[in-house]
Structure 1
Amino acid sequence: MKPESRRIIELTEYQLATFERDFIPESVGDKIYQNYGKEIDIEFPNRKTKDKWELKSKGRVGNIPITPEFHIAIRPKVPINNLFGMLEYAYNLKIKFPQGSIQCQSLQESYERLANILAQKILERCRKGLYRDYLSKTERLAYIRGRVDLRSALQKPWDVKLKCHYHEQTGDIEDNQILAWTLFMIGRSGVCGETVSSTVRKAFHALQGFVTLKPFKSSACIDRTYHRLNQDYQLLHALCRFFLDNTGPSHEKGDREMLPFLIDMANLYEQFVAEWLKANTPKGFFVKQQHRVTHDPNYFYRIDLLLCDIATSKVQYVLDTKYKAPDKIDNKDIYQIVTYAHALNCQNAILIYPQNLKQPLDIKNGDIRVRSLTFSLDSDLNEAGKTFLTSLPQKILS
Structure 2
Amino acid sequence: MMDIAIIEHGAALSLPLSSALGRAVAASRAVEAVLDPETPGRWWLKAAGKVGVATVTAPGGETLTVRITPKVPIRRLLFLLGYALDAKGWRDDDASLDAEPELLPALAHLFERQADRALRQGLLQGYRTTEETSLVMRGRLREADQIRRHHGEFPAVEIVHDEYTTDIAENRLLRTATDRLLRLPRVPKDLRGRLLRLHVRLADVTPIGRGHEPPTWRPTRLNVRYQPAVRLAELVLRGASVEHRPGDITVSGFLLDMAGVFEDFVTVALREALSTSSGYSMLQASHYLDEGHAIRIVPDFVHYTDDGTPHAVADAKYKAEKPAGFPDADLYQMLAYCTALRLADGHLIYAKGNAPHAAHRVRHTGITIHQHTLDLDQPPTTLLADVRALAGCFLPRTSRPEQRPVLSGNR
- SS of the equivalent of 1:379 reads coil
Pick aligned residue for 2:36 from 33, 45, 52: 45
CA separation in 2, counterparts of 1:240 and 1:99? Answer: 15
C-alpha displacement of 1:392:
6.4
Question: % of aligned pairs identical?
Answer: 20
1:32 counterpart residue number: 25
CA separation in 1, counterparts of 2:367 and 2:221? Answer: 48
1:343 counterpart residue number: 340
2:162 counterpart residue number: 167
1:243 counterpart residue number: 236
- The normalised TM-score by structure 1 is 0.81
C-alpha displacement of 1:303:
0.7
CA separation in 1, counterparts of 2:40 and 2:137? Answer: 80
C-alpha displacement of 1:194:
1.2
Q: Which moved more, 1:385-394 or 1:163-172?
A: 385-394
Q: Which moved more, 1:284-293 or 1:50-59?
A: 50-59
CA separation in 2, counterparts of 1:215 and 1:71? Answer: 23
Pick aligned residue for 1:12 from 3, 7, 17: 7
Contact 1:135 1:170 in 2 (8 A): no
CA separation in 1, counterparts of 2:143 and 2:327? Answer: 69
CA separation in 1, counterparts of 2:154 and 2:339? Answer: 68
C-alpha displacement of 1:91:
1.9
Report Cα offsets for 1:173-212 as digits up to 9, x if no partner: 3332222222221122223111111222221232223435
CA separation in 1, counterparts of 2:75 and 2:102? Answer: 9
Give me the CA root mean square deviation: 3.4
Count of paired positions: 378
1:3 counterpart residue number: none
Change (3 A) 1:75 1:385: same
C-alpha displacement of 1:122:
5.2
C-alpha displacement of 1:279:
2.7
Change (3 A) 1:180 1:376: same
1:303 counterpart residue number: 299
Pick aligned residue for 2:77 from 72, 83, 105: 83
CA separation in 1, counterparts of 2:94 and 2:273? Answer: 22
CA separation in 2, counterparts of 1:220 and 1:158? Answer: 34
1:195 counterpart residue number: 190
CA separation in 1, counterparts of 2:299 and 2:32? Answer: 28
2:406 counterpart residue number: none
C-alpha displacement of 1:59:
1.0
Change (3 A) 1:394 1:34: closer
Contact 1:11 1:73 in 2 (8 A): yes
CA separation in 2, counterparts of 1:239 and 1:100? Answer: 12
C-alpha displacement of 1:395:
7.7
CA separation in 2, counterparts of 1:18 and 1:92? Answer: 37
Q: Which ranges in structure 1 are unaligned for 5 or more consecutive residues?
A: 1-5
Contact 1:190 1:258 in 2 (8 A): no
1:292 aligns with 2:283: no
Pick aligned residue for 1:316 from 311, 317, 321: 311
How do residues 1-398 of structure 1 correspond to structure 2 at under 5 angstroms?
A: 7-21=2-16, 24-36=17-29, 39-47=30-38, 52-67=42-57, 70-92=64-86, 94-96=89-91, 98=93, 101-103=96-98, 104-121=100-117, 123-124=119-120, 128-141=122-135, 144-147=137-140, 159=154, 164-215=159-210, 220=215, 224-252=217-245, 259-281=252-274, 283-285=276-278, 286-294=280-288, 299-309=295-305, 311-324=306-319, 325-326=321-322, 327-358=324-355, 360-365=357-362, 366-390=365-389, 396=395
Q: Which moved more, 1:270-279 or 1:92-101?
A: 92-101
Q: Which ranges in structure 2 are unaligned for 5 or more consecutive residues?
A: 398-411
Change (3 A) 1:128 1:216: farther
Higher relative contact order (CA 8 A, sep 6+): 2
CA separation in 1, counterparts of 2:357 and 2:125? Answer: 52
Contact 1:135 1:169 in 2 (8 A): no
Contact 1:12 1:57 in 2 (8 A): yes
Change (3 A) 1:102 1:232: same
CA separation in 1, counterparts of 2:31 and 2:226? Answer: 36
- SS of the equivalent of 2:300 reads strand
Contact 1:119 1:183 in 2 (8 A): no
Output the amino acid matched with 2:389: T
C-alpha displacement of 1:301:
2.5
Change (3 A) 1:144 1:394: closer
C-alpha displacement of 1:339:
0.7
2:400 counterpart residue number: none
- SS of the equivalent of 1:396 reads coil
Output the amino acid matched with 1:396: L
Output the amino acid matched with 1:374: T
Report Cα offsets for 1:123-152 as digits up to 9, x if no partner: 42xx523322142434443x5534457896
